[in-house]
Amino acid sequence: MNPSTERLLRVTRSGGFAGRTRTLVVNGDGSWSLVGEQDKDLRKGRLDPAGLEDLRTALREADFARLPRTATADPPVYDGFTYTFVHAGFEVSADETVLPPALSRVLAALPGFDAAP
3-state secondary structure of 35: strand
Res 39: pLDDT: 76
How far apart, in Å, are the Cα atoms of 19 and each of 37, 51, 81? 11, 29, 9
Q: Is pLDDT of 76 > 90?
A: no
User: pLDDT tens digits for 60-74?
Assistant: 999 999 999 999 888
**3-state class (DSSP) for residue 45:** strand
Its pTM stands at 0.89
Chain mean pLDDT for the chain: 91
SS3 assignment, position 31? strand
Give domain limits for the chain. Answer: 7-108
**pLDDT tens figures, 81-106:** 999 999 999 999 999 999 999 999 99
